[in-house]
Amino acid sequence: MPNSTQDREWAARAASGDQDAFRAIYRAHVRPVYWIAHGLLGSPSDAEDVVQETFVVAWRKLPGLELAGESLLPWLATICRFQAANRLRRLRRDSMNTADAVDDTLPGTVCVEDQVIAASLAERIAAEVQRLGDTDREIFQLCAVEGYAYEAAAAQLGVSHAAVRNRLSRVRSRLRGAVKEVRDA
């Protein structure tokens, strides 16, 4: 996860039309946005479409964004939830207009409570990641966000494979605890 300074810098540059800054935003946040979309829609292909729509909307809205929080993730999660709700409505409408295609696997609506919980989770995870030490945050960014293998992350950071594996395990445990706190609240 990028730090809040990085997010603000990328957002300001992207708002003025810098496509490289927007690519950095995309790379830093695409996975969590995907998992939010997938959790709401339950379909990998629909989630991929919603992620694409989310970042298209974000690109258009960046010039008017006033980044109040620590991360762009809560803002992107909100856009994602709206795009997912729109997709669900379209899918429902399309299935109702097709005589032989009643799809009971589609969720009926996006529950407001689920949206609040998803936003709280995204904010809590972003806050926990910001509290990590520099090395742990870099390991999390490389392995969990960018999909590096442990060996590749270890080579990039100049540490051992075991250090990456152990630190990432501790980070994941810490994040699971943060998620549990939000869900139990």
Question: For residue 46, is pLDDT > 60?
Answer: yes
Whole-angstrom distance, CA of residue 54 vs CA of residue 98 = 27
Question: For residue 183, is pLDDT > 90?
Answer: no
pLDDT for 52 equals 93
Q: Which of 155, 169, 71 has its CA nearest to residue 121? A: 71
Q: What is the share, in percent, of the chain residues with pLDDT greater than 70?
A: 76
Residue range(s) in the chain whose domain bears CATH number 1.10.1740.10: 1-109
Q: Which are the contacts of 136, defined by CB distance < 8 A and separation ≥ 6? A: 167, 170, 171
The average pLDDT across 11-25 equals 91
Q: Write the DSSP symbol of residue 64.
A: G
Distances from the Cα of 28 to the Cα of 7, 67, 126, 137, 166, angstroms: 9, 16, 12, 12, 22
Which pTM was predicted?
Answer: 0.55
Whole-angstrom distance, CA of residue 78 vs CA of residue 75 = 5
Distances from the Cα of 37 to the Cα of 60, 64, 75, angstroms: 20, 24, 14
Whole-angstrom distance, CA of residue 19 vs CA of residue 10 = 10
Q: Which CATH class is domain 1-109?
A: mainly alpha
Q: Which CATH class is domain 132-185?
A: mainly alpha
Question: For residue 24, is pLDDT > 70?
Answer: yes
Distances from the Cα of 117 to the Cα of 46, 48, 127, 168, 182, angstroms: 21, 21, 15, 25, 7
Three-state DSSP class for 1? Answer: coil
Question: For residue 6, is pLDDT > 60?
Answer: yes
H/E element holding 120?
A: helix 112-131
pLDDT for 108 equals 54
Q: Which of 32, 72, 69 has its CA nearest to residue 51? A: 32
Asked which of 49-53, 96-100, 167-171 is least confident by mean pLDDT, the reply is 96-100
Q: Which of 32, 58, 43, 29 has its CA nearest to residue 90? A: 43
Residue range(s) in the chain whose domain bears CATH number 1.10.10.10: 132-185
Question: For residue 99, is pLDDT > 80?
Answer: no
In the chain, at which residue ranges do the beta strands (DSSP E only) sit? none
pLDDT for 105 equals 55
